[in-house]
Amino acid sequence: MFGTDMESLRDWIQAQLRTCEELIAVTTTRGQTLEAFLAAHRYNQSLVERGVRMTSFFDAGGGCSQLRNFIISADDMPYYLACGFMQVKVLDGDRVMVEGPLVERRRSLMLMRGTEALTAARQYLKAFRDTAVRACEFRDRTGDLTARQHVIAQQLEENLTDDEIAERLGLSVRTVRYEVARLMEALDVGTRFAAGVRYARATALLEDTVAGTCNRFAPQTASRQR
C-alpha cells in the first residue's frame, strides 16, 4: 500500500483493523505530537470497547514528554512501554503489518501472511513482552491523580487556559475547571501555575525512570538483531 499522505495510510490501516478480533502492536512515538496521537488513542479506545483483544507496546524513549505522560496516564488501556526499532502490527495471529520501503518519496506499508512472516513477528514480539512494563505502573510516582487529571496537568505545564485545554482535549470548559480545582487540591497548591510547576517536578523522576527502562533494554534488543 502506497500512501499519498499520512491520512491515506491511516485510513488503510483502520480498514484492515475493522474486522480483526486480536491486535498486537509495536509503535514508536518518535516525531509524534500529543495532538496526532490523540486521534489514534480514540480509535484504540473504540477497538477495545468493541471487544478487540489489544496489546500495544510503545517505544517511548524518543517521544515528547507530554505524549509519554499521556500513555502512562491511560490506565484503562492495555498500553506498555518497551524499546524497539521497528513498528509492527499482528492481526488475529495470521497477518503481519510492517512499514515498507520509501519508493519515489512515497511511504509504504506491507501486509504479509505466511509462516516465515509470522515466525519473525512472534520472535520480535516476544522480545517486547520479555522487557515491557505496563505503562500505568509508572503513575504512582506522580501522585494520586486520575488519568484525566494527569492529562490536564500536562497542559498546565504549558500555561494553557481552561478554554484552550478544553479545545485540545475535546472536553467541556466546565469539566476542565472542575478537574483543575481537584488537581490543585490533590497537589496542595493555590494556583494553576503552581500546580503545573509541582506536577512538572514530580514527573521529572518519572521521565528519568521511563528513559532508563527503554535504555536498559536497548542493548538486549540490539543483541537479538545480531
Q: Which residue in 89, 70, 92 sits closest to 81, CA to CA?
A: 70
Give the chain's mean pLDDT. 81
Is 225's pLDDT higher than 50? no
Question: Edge-to-edge strand order for the sheet containing 88-91?
Answer: 109-112, 95-99, 88-91, 22-28, 53-59, 79-82, 133-134
Is 220's pLDDT higher than 60? no
Could you give the percent of the chain with pLDDT greater than 70? Answer: 83
> Where does the pLDDT of residue 202 fall: very low under 50, low under 70, confident under 90, or very high at 90 and above?
low
Residue 21: the pLDDT is 95
Which of 96-100, 102-106, 110-114 bottoms out in mean pLDDT, i.e. has the lowest? 102-106
For residues 198 and 219, which has the higher predicted lDDT (pLDDT)?
Answer: 198
Residue 221: the pLDDT is 40
Tens digit of each residue's pLDDT (9 = 90 or more) over 123-156: 998 887 877 878 877 665 455 677 788 888 888 8
Mean pLDDT of 174-187: 89
Predicted structure pTM score: 0.65
Mean pLDDT of 104-117: 90
Which of 136-145, 181-190, 196-205 bottoms out in mean pLDDT, i.e. has the lowest? 136-145
Mean pLDDT of 204-212: 53
CA–CA dist 223, 25 (Å, integer): 22
Mean pLDDT of 192-203: 76
Residue 222: the pLDDT is 39
**Residue 35 CB neighbour total at 10 angstroms:** 11
CA–CA dist 135, 89 (Å, integer): 19
Residue 199: the pLDDT is 78
Residue 5: the pLDDT is 78
Tens digit of each residue's pLDDT (9 = 90 or more) over 59-79: 866 667 778 878 887 878 999
Tens digit of each residue's pLDDT (9 = 90 or more) over 31-57: 788 888 888 899 999 999 999 999 999
H-type alpha helices, the chain: 6-17, 34-50, 65-73, 115-131, 147-156, 162-169, 173-187, 192-225
